[in-house]
Amino acid sequence: MGADGIFAKALAGGFFGKLAGGVFMAVCLAFGFGPDKWAKFIVTGLPIWVTPVLAQAVFLTLATLTFGSFIWSFLTRYNSVSQQQAAELKSNRRALIAKARDFVSRTVRQNPDDIYFQNQLESDQIFYILRPHLSAHFNQVLMGRVVLYQSRPGATLPQTAWLFIREIERLEKEWNLT
The domain ranges of the chain are 3-84, 89-174
Alpha-helix runs per DSSP H in the chain: 3-30, 36-43, 52-110, 114-122, 125-130, 136-143, 159-174
115-126 pLDDT, tens digit per residue, is 899 999 999 999
71-103 pLDDT, tens digit per residue, is 777 777 766 667 788 889 999 999 999 999 999
Give pTM, 2 decimals. 0.54
Query: What mean pLDDT, rounded, does the chain reach?
Result: 79
95-151 pLDDT, tens digit per residue, is 999 999 999 999 999 998 888 999 999 999 999 999 999 999 898 888 876 655 555
Distance CA 1, CA 76 (A): 30
